[in-house]
Amino acid sequence: MSSDPIELKPPEDSTAVVEALPAESLDPVTARRLDVDAKQAAVGRILEELGCEAAILFMPAHVAWFCGGVNVRGLIADAERPGVYTTGRARWLVCANADTQRLFDEELDRLGFQLKEWQWPVGRAVLLGELVAGKKVAADRPFPGLQPVNERLRPELRALAPSDRAKYLALGRTVVHAVEATARTMARGQTEEEVAGQVAHRLYHRGAEADAISVTADGRGAKYRRAGFTAAPAHSTCVIQATGTRDGLYVTASRTVCFGRPPDDFRTEHDTACRLSAVYRSLSVSGGTIGSAAEAGRWLTADTPFEYEWRQSPPGYGTGWFAAEELRRAGQEEKFVANQAVVWQARVGAAAVVDTVLVSDAGPVPVTPPEGWPFKRVRVQDRTCDVPDLLVREGG
């Protein structure tokens, strides 16, 4: 552990105090049902504003949000995906008969859902026609004659509900374990593909799924900021990044391992990325924006060899119910709200420090903190961040 203080004045719109994570006192099913009731009520208010009688939701993020987390299993076509139909006062699962039993047994038991089911040989079009006939209905997919509801729903998905936050922090621990355990045990000379496979195995072993994995060996990340993984072997350095998903939620984290003393240029790049990461996290407060972080990063790297790194990739995204959500719309910055999930990616040359946090009035809540991993304790004004450092392994 090392101390690396930074004095930086954050932008004025990033200094608001936000709500802290509340204590949990209800059993999981009751808490989740209350969350679903609240989300149903929120959709009901949107329906009143739109002058609609009901809404049909089929986008995976919207369905998972409304249900407080749902895992869709098996080989499934987009037109077969389960959805939600709600009037704002009652709710129904809309799904094919091939999915009904498992969804109620494993995902929606005791959550107050009724059922509108289509038979797979017929398809869902007939059922949808019956649901919307003679009604003014809103939808999150472009169905003819239905009112679009996507933009009205976007603010509702920002803040994670209490039971969602508990699941989210658990998913963060799962992702961190998968990445760190892989970095600690991978052998020198293993390919990026082999390393990615180990990460995925550990995610699935703990009940999560791999949504995206990036492994960059020996500086390949300097050329490709969204690199994936290849057959290239790792002899000197390896940056491992994973996005795991469970219950409709997404968490992303990265860790970096070196075999022997890291190259001087890579060490410098990683140290700079650590400082950038701490600055980004310090701006994870209500009223903050991705643009504020980008501007702070430009200020920090000005007049250094890395002053143009900000052009290579964005500093972060909204996350939670989306793996990565752009928070700039039509040139306008969307401000963070309490309990919103943000994934920060500080990339400098071949180095990357990527972690997920929750916005909170007690300061950013780390979703993917280092666990048994080297870290730098970096201070940005009155906030201290523990940022994952390089794991230097001797031998193979």
pLDDT per residue over 280-325, tens digit each? 999 999 999 999 998 988 988 898 889 888 888 899 999 999 999 9
Percent of the chain past pLDDT 90, that is, above it, reads: 77
pLDDT value for 162: 84
User: Has residue 132 been placed in a domain?
Assistant: yes
> For 212-220, what is the mean pLDDT?
96
Q: Is the pLDDT of residue 10 over 50?
A: no
Burial 110-141 (b: 16+ CB within 10 A, else e): ebebeebbbeeeeebeebbeebbeeeebbbbb
CA gap 387, 255 in Å, rounded: 10
Do the domain assignments include residue 130? yes
Residue 108 lies in a domain: yes
Q: What is the model's pTM?
A: 0.91
Q: What is the DSSP string of 74-114?
A: SS--GGG--EEEE-SS-EEEEEETTTHHHIIIII-TTS--E
Q: What digits encode the pLDDT tens for the residues 44-85?
A: 999 999 999 999 999 999 999 999 999 999 999 999 999 999
Q: Which of 222, 197, 207 shows the shortest CA–CA distance to 348?
A: 222
Q: Give the pLDDT confidence of 109-160 residue by residue, as tens digits.
A: 999 999 999 999 999 999 999 999 999 999 999 998 999 999 999 999 999 9
Q: Which of 1-5, 202-206, 357-361, 368-372 has the lowest mean pLDDT?
A: 1-5
Higher pLDDT, 280 or 1: 280
Is residue 139 assigned to a domain?
A: yes
The predicted model gives 220-226 an average pLDDT of 91
Backbone angles phi, psi at 276, to 5 degrees: -60, -45
Cα–Cα distance for residue pair 4/103, rounded to 1 Å: 50
Domain of 75, in residue numbers: 28-157
Calculate mean pLDDT across residues 22-30: 67
Counted domains in the chain: 1
Residue 131 covered by a domain: yes
State both tokens at 176.
């961190």
pLDDT for 2 beyond 70: no
The mean pLDDT value of the chain amounts to: 90
Q: Which contiguous run of DSSP H or E holds residue 199?
A: helix 192-205
Residue 120, helix vs strand vs coil = coil
CA distance 142 to 163: 31
Q: What is the CATH number of the domain that holds 54?
A: 3.40.350.10
Residue 343 lies in a domain: no
**Residues in a beta bridge with 343:** 317, 356
Query: Is 340 a domain residue?
Result: no
**pLDDT confidence bin for 360, thresholds 50/70/90:** confident
Q: What is the pLDDT of residue 380?
A: 87
